[in-house]
Amino acid sequence: MRISEKWTYAADADQVWAMTTDQTFQDKKCADAGSLSSSASVTEAGETTEIRNEREMLTEGIPDVLKKLIGQTVRVTETQTWSAPDEGGVRTADVDVLIKGQPITMRGKIVMRPEGEATTLTLEANLKAGIPLIGGKLEKAAAPSILDAIHSEQRTGTAYLTT
């Protein structure tokens, strides 16, 4: 199932990058998304920056029949591996979201594009549940939670940049 999102921050790319790589922001975005517990790390290695978040989340909003398969909580690991900016200031990241113990993954790309005094981020990813017969139902059930987490991060980012 395709997940596509685009959002714009009213801040230049340097400010948005500084926010993205700020440990405080990473911790806050996990908390704001409703994590029961979380850990975050930002690691620079040469031309790349890896941002890794691990969160324990309730399975709220998922149909009861599917909760029997996945349980009341899930441990979600999100890894973003960012490149250095190109000559136009555009950064890209490979993003991987894994749900521990479950055959559900989301893999894709995030593009951070400067647009004057604003910065646009675009996520294009594929959400996949590798369970024959019910994988599509599980993807449809998981998609709203994934989108809620993305929208929560957008709100957290907007608040961060205005303080």
Lowest mean pLDDT among 23-27, 28-32, 129-133: 129-133
What pLDDT is attached to residue 70? 73
Whether residue 65 has pLDDT greater than 70: no
The token duo for 160 is: 């961060």
Domain count of the fold of the chain:
1
Percent of the chain residues topping a pLDDT of 70: 96
- pLDDT, tens digit, 9 for 90 and up, residues 82-133: 999 999 999 999 999 998 887 889 999 999 999 999 999 999 999 998 878 7
What pLDDT is attached to residue 99? 87
What pLDDT is attached to residue 66? 67
CATH of the domain at 30: 3.30.530.20
Can you spell out the DSSP letters for the chain?
A: -EEEEEEEESS-HHHHHHHHT-HHHHHHHHHHTT-SEEEEEEEEETTEEEEEEEEEEE-TTS-HHHHHHH-SEEEEEEEEEEPPP-TTS-EEEEEEEEETTSSEEEEEEEEEEEETTEEEEEEEEEEEE--TTTHHHHHHHHHHHHHHHHHHHHHHHHHHHT-
Higher-pLDDT residue of 132, 50? 50
Q: Which structural domain, as residue segments, surrounds residue 85? A: 2-161
Whether residue 76 has pLDDT greater than 90: yes
* 24-38, 52-66, 136-150: range with highest mean pLDDT: 24-38
Whether residue 134 has pLDDT greater than 90: no
